Amino acid sequence: MSVRFLTGVAALALCAGTASADYSLTILHINDLHSRIEPINRFDSTCSAGDNAEGKCFGGVARLKTKIDEIRAEMDGQNLLVLDAGDQYQGSLVYTTYKGDVAIEMMNLIGFDAMAVGNHEFDDGPEGLAKLAEGADFPVLSGNLDLSQSDLLRDIVGDYVILEVGGERIGIVSALATDTVETSSPGPNVIFQDEIEALRADVAALEAEGVTKIIALTHVGLPKDLEIAAAVEGIDVVIGGHSHTLMLNNDADTPSYPEMVGAVPVAQAYAYSKYLGRLDLTFDDAGNLTAVSGDPILLDASVAEDADVVARVAELTGPIEEMKARVVAETSDAIEGDRSVCRAVECPMGNLVADAMLDRVADQGIQIAIQNGGGLRASIDAGPVTMGEVLTVLPFQNTLSTFQVTGATMIAALENGVSQIEEGAGRFPQVAGLKYTLDVSQAAGSRVSDVMVMEDGTWVPIDPAKVYGVVSNNFMRNGGDGYGMFRDAMNAYDFGPDLADVTAEYLAANAPYAPFTDGRITAK
């Protein structure tokens, strides 16, 4: 079945088709692939060939293509859309090596119909997103970006799109989290607008064109998606990403798939292509949604890998396999680095990375290390640790930054770090050489107490007036994840060694490494 997209004058010129009762539409969707084109293991890192052969792995673009092709064949021309809710970029050595080229190739090969811009699509600046938008065979959308000042993006990233599916016009609107200015690098010429207000305007524009079936394809996280579903009239369904939320039916530990906000279903499909979301919708002839069903499909070993894609992935990953396979250390147990842990509480991976940072520069008069939980992208399983695993945890090529700030600034940094725990924000502070108490029942800005600094082997209260030496990563030092208080730090040096190399060398020096937590972050 053909799907064609129309924007601007073309969309305005299209006459409304004749609506039919009980129009059915199936949406297949992914979000937050994060460059995991290879299968992943249970820790969400790249799966070994041996484990994959033994059926222990999930996802990867070869399985994704198999399942989407299978559903297309089963539906035999029925109404189908394949959507991506953002963050194809960043998260594996494939992205580090090829940047956006592989994402474009694989998405075009699979045959997506539309994609929302994710925050990580800006990790290489507007130029990185421009490459994707120009190379994709489908529209790339974000309706709350004012791109009028961006020569690179103005004409290639749309606010919304109208897709013709089975003789019906389907409108797709989109929005990107406004804190992308802190979590990535959109640059000064990309201006963010309020997500809800922008979506309302785009829905109104679609309705003025006679479109009655409207999908919000967003990259704002589940809490905001639920807010959008309640606040923006005219949206029939929300397909989201950003928060990596697992939504399953018949599982008391996850939100339902979909979550219903009144009559509006909200759906997300975890991350890394471990699941393919499937939502089946029925509309009446007035465009009202009358029935919703579906559940994410687990892409485990029961889903065969497309042979041609497997061969292409092997060709692409061949040049980096030797480096990935190099064993750098050993760990006595799995090192927990899951985002749900490291963005909320002290986690073993946070302790490892912060300790490694501090160890590297302790002889430079540095007392405190701070690492954003969002910079930790995977766990590591027990046993031999490869450089590939370390780089999957720390894929951003961040460098060590050393600087000096007062104790008062350090307390402000901690308050920023714990200010968005409810949203699972990546700014959560993992630390070394410092400990603190957190009370999430308090308002943001008043959650941190009992901040202590290690001095001469003894924990002492932090002195707001004293100047401390701090090590972080260059992303945070330059204001990323809301750490704007570090931008004007004294004696800043942002060009230290790569954080992944520092961590690998620390693991090697302490092998076999025993992961731990020690109460450096406590919760009331």
pTM value is: 0.77
**Strand duo 191-192 + 145-146: pairing:** antiparallel
Tell me how far apart the 2 most distant CA atoms of the chain are, in Å.
78
The secondary structure of 60-97, three-state, reads: CHHHHHHHHHHHHHHHCCCCEEEEECCCCCCCCHHHHH
What is the enclosing helix (H) or strand (E) of 405? strand 400-406
CA–CA dist 388, 377 (Å, integer): 13
- From CA 56, how far away is CA 299, in angstroms rounded? 11
Contacts of 94 (CB under 8 A, 6+ apart): 35, 37, 38, 102, 316, 317, 320
| pLDDT tens per residue across all 524 residues of the chain | 334 344 432 332 233 344 447 999 999 999 999 999 999 988 787 888 899 999 999 999 999 999 999 999 999 989 999 999 999 998 788 888 899 999 999 999 999 999 999 999 998 999 999 999 999 999 999 999 999 999 999 999 999 999 999 999 999 999 999 989 877 889 999 999 999 999 999 999 999 999 999 999 999 999 999 999 999 999 999 999 998 899 999 999 999 999 999 999 999 999 999 999 999 999 999 999 999 999 999 999 999 999 999 999 999 998 888 888 889 999 999 999 999 999 999 999 999 999 999 999 998 899 999 999 999 999 999 999 999 899 989 988 788 999 999 999 999 999 999 999 999 999 999 999 999 999 999 999 999 999 999 999 999 999 999 999 999 998 999 899 999 999 999 999 887 878 998 999 999 999 999 999 999 999 98
Residue 207 three-state SS? helix
Residue 478 confidence (pLDDT): 87
Q: Which of 205, 210, 213 is nearest to 235 (CA)?
A: 213
DSSP string of 105-123, one letter each residue: HHHHHHT-SEEEPPGGGGT
Report which secondary-structure segment, H or E, holds 267.
strand 264-267
Distance CA 419, CA 269 (A): 26
Dihedral sign computed on CA atoms, order 484, 485, 491, 493: negative
Which residues in 317-399 belong to E strands, given as ranges?
A: 327-331, 368-372, 383-386
Backbone dihedral angles phi then psi of residue 17, each to the nearest 5 degrees: -80, 170
Q: Which of 129, 147, 143, 204 is CA-nearest to residue 175? A: 143
For residue 108, give the 3-state DSSP assignment.
helix
Angle between helices 195-208 and 222-231 (to 10 degrees): 50
pLDDT on residue 68: 98
Report the alpha-carbon distance of residue 293 to residue 494 in Å, rounded: 50
State residue 232's pLDDT score: 98
| 308: Cβ contacts below 8 Å, ≥ 6 apart | none
Which residue type occupies 342?
C
Residue the block writes with tokens 């016009």: 169
Domains of the chain: 3-12+24-314 (3.60.21.10), 328-523 (3.90.780.10)
From the list 316, 264, 249, the residue with the least C-alpha distance to 98 is 316
Place of tokens 């959650």: 447
Instruction: At 343, give phi and psi (nearest 5°).
Output: -105, 15
Evaluate whether 100 touches 89 at the Cβ level (below 8 Å). Answer: yes
